[in-house]
Every structure is written in C-alpha cells, then in structure tokens.
Structure 1
Amino acid sequence: MSYHVPRGGLPPQSALTTDRARFTEAYAVIPARTLSDITASRLPHWEQTRLWVLARPLSGFAETFSQYVVEVAAGGGNTDVEDEVDAEAVLFVVDGSLTLNLDGTEHALGPGSYVYLPPATPWALRNHSDATATFHWIRKAYQRVDGIDVPEPFVTREQDVDAIPMPDTDGAWATTRFVDQADLRHDMHVNIVTFEPGGAIPFPETHVMEHGLYVLEGKAVYLLNEDWVEVEAGDFMWLRAFCPQACYAGGPGQFRYLLYKDVNRHVGLTL
C-alpha cells in the first residue's frame, strides 16, 4: 500500500503563488503544499508532536467532524488525549511505527493500521522508533440512541480488509469498509476508496452525508459542485452535504483517498 506523507518545509521564494486552493460555500480544497511548517500546530499533553488541522466544525465549513494529520517525532507521544467527553475517533497510520495503549493493552501500529475509538475510551500513543510517524486523526461527537449500544474499540489494517468492488464497475471502483454498513451502532464511516486508472464516479452524487477526502495516492479530476478541480496525493477536500461530486481517475497508477462521512442517524430539525 502507498500513502502520501506530508513532510512540512516551506515552498521556495521562487514558487508561483497561483494554486488550486479553494474555499467556497459548497466545498474546499486544501492542496498538499499547504501543509507546511508555518501552518502546523501543536496540542497540549502531546510531546514531540505537531499536526495540521484539515477540518474543524465552523460556520460555513465542516459541521460534523474534525480531521488532523499528526506527525510524532522519535520518542514523542501523548499523556492525555481527548478533551471532549462524547468524541469518538478513527486513527489511520500512513508512516512509521507507533505503539497504541488501548485500555491497558498494547498494539503495534504501522502504515495501514486503522483504529476505531468510541467515546470515553482510554488510549495513548507513543513513538518508540528512531524515525517520525504520521497518522490521520478523525473526530466526531458520537450521537447516542436509546436502545443501541456504543460500538467497541477495534484495531485492524487496510492490508487485512478486502476492498469491495462497486456494482457494475468491473473492479475499476472499489471501497475498503472497516465497519459493517448495517451496524447502526456506528454514526460515522471512514473508508478507503480506490479507482483504477480511468475509473470514474459516473454521475454527480448529491446526498446528505458530509465528506472529508484526503488523497492518499495518485491523481484525478474531481467535480465539486459546478467546478472540475485537479487533485493529487496529499490534497484534502471538504464537501458540504448535498454538494454534487464525481471524478475521473487520471492514472498512471491508482487514485485512492481516505473518506469520512456521517451516517445512520436522524436528521436534526433545529439549527
């Protein structure tokens, strides 16, 4: 598996300012080079760690989730994790090695490792290696429902989960799902979507789910509302609910992205 890893730095003074960055009422595009040293941030209780915030709840922007790309240097890690009592999370490792302490049990994580963490789960991460490690951290406020249990935490790897071809695509478009779609305990899905060169979403999807898409590999032309935008590995896209979307994978290799969406809950009737 191949995953884009941001390395920070800063574009040279000779670089053109013109870019593919977009921020609209319907969508946003954050190009890979935006993840530079000057846009990185840090968190309390995280040692030798920096992160880039790709999405956060904000009027006119993401409403249901936040997403970070987190870089943990050698010897780094956390002593306290979550300020929000209702926050659930998915961690997806794209580089290096980390040790996850999940409620007292240790798990070795590497590229492709996927972790689901329900709210109020004790966990900690530590980088015991000599190199940096990078992971995505996607957070959402869990929506509890009477009579439905909160899901259990789990740890798996993309390498151990079969990608399921979408119907009538001859394998040109497939989705790696880490949670059963029929499991109503889960109110968010974080999947990996893969297109073979030339594969496409052949119609403008227009639906209630909000999306965060981080391009792990390859390139494509993506329809976002009324605009066709070129995207490549390391780019992030936010799509508002009902934003029309489609794409053509550009090749020469696969086009793959990490996809967030909110699912399986009633629509709130108050703003």
Structure 2
Amino acid sequence: MLASHFVQRISLRRDTVEHFDRYPFNLQAVRHLDVLEPHPKVTFFVGENGSGKSTLLEAIAVALGFNPEGGSRNFHFDTRPSHSELHAHLRIAKGYKRPRDGFFLRAESFFNVTTNIEQMDADPAPAPPVINSYGGVSLHEQSHGESFMALMMKRFGGQGLYLLDEPEAALSPQRQLAALARLHDLVRDGSQFIIATHSPILMAYPDAWIYRFDGEGVQRVDYEDTEHFQVMQTFMRDPQRMVRSLIGPD
C-alpha cells in the first residue's frame, strides 16, 4: 500500500556533490546523510547550534517549492539571499496524496514574512486581504509569540505539510504547551510536521520520530536519550545545585 503522508523519504544525491569539504556539505550531518525517512505525522530535528538541522530543514523546504525566508508557496519575496545550495542536491520522495495546505516557518525571518503580508495587502486586489487568513490583525501589531500563535491557530488549516524551524523561539512554556495541543489537532486533521527545535516540551509529542544531529551524522533517538531531556531533567531535580556548579560559590 502506498504511504499516505506527504514526504516519505529525503535523500542526498551524493553523486552530484563535487566537494564535501565546503559548506554546507562539510557539516557532519550532511556529509554522512544518505536517506532520512520522516514520520508520517511528526518528525523532530534536534542538535546543537551549528549541527545542520536548520540547514537541512531549509533545504527540504526550498526543494519542495517554499520561499527560503518562509511562508507558503505563494510567497516569493527575497530580503537577503542566505540559503545554501543543498536543496539542489536533495531527492524528495512524496506520497500519493498532495497537501491541501503548507507553510515553512523560519523563526529568524518571520518578521520578513509579516512585512511582505502588509506589502501585498497594500496593493489593490480583488481577493480578500492576506492578513485575514492570519486572524485579521496585523502581525506586526502583536508580540512575536502572539504572531506565532496566530499563525498556528488561524493560518494553518489542516491536511497540510508544515516545516517549522525553532517555533519555540518566541513562545513561553505555557504557549509551547498550547502549540503542542494545536499541533495535535492538525495531525488529527491529516497534517504532517517536520520541526527543528531545542524545546523538550515540543519534542515530547507522543510517537514522534526524533533525529539527532551531531558529529556522527543523523541518528534516530528516543526522547529520553536527547540531551535536551536529560539536561532539563537534571536541572529540575535540583536547580540550585546545577546553578552553583556553573557559577561557583559566592
């Protein structure tokens, strides 16, 4: 039976890479990448800063036709080209179903997306304003976290493919829990998520697949085996002890 999820397999076309000693191919996660299979519902990319998780997520998004700075496939603005050429060397195997919706969120460039929405709405058009899909309130007139939640609650419509790069960046722990609940609603409505994150709250989503990016490449791991979970667990058991070990006695 054909798999029903939107992205089945991500492969590096290694024969098309001329040099593995320059960025982004010199990243260990990319250098050792062969085939990565996302979960049909929720997949997490985790790892230290600079490990390559956001680089790979961005390349997947661009290979699928999303704007490099974020947005849906209908966004075509270009503030400052910064994406790598990795997308040109990926092979994306897709399922037989096509997503009804889709969005690529980059936390660091979401400001540019919101600006582009205002620019599009400033031009006369027969269609309703774009901002109506995000709740009707300017995203620039909301806090960073509120605009992220407006995106998830109002814009994401289900049966979609959603690629999120560090969505927790602007969210309080309480809002991360709310985002987790919304993610579940969208999964039950037939959506697939691939998320690069540092949040142990988000990556606790049941049955998700977690891929760890490190010096040995990309490996699937259990939630309890992630450094994020272990560090947070140790900290919460005795916060003052860990703080004293870091800053020393007065």
Scaled by the length of structure 1, the TM-score of the pair is: 0.29
**Rg larger in structure:** 2
Greater RCO, CA 8 A, separation 6+: 2
Greater helix content = 2
Greater strand content = 1
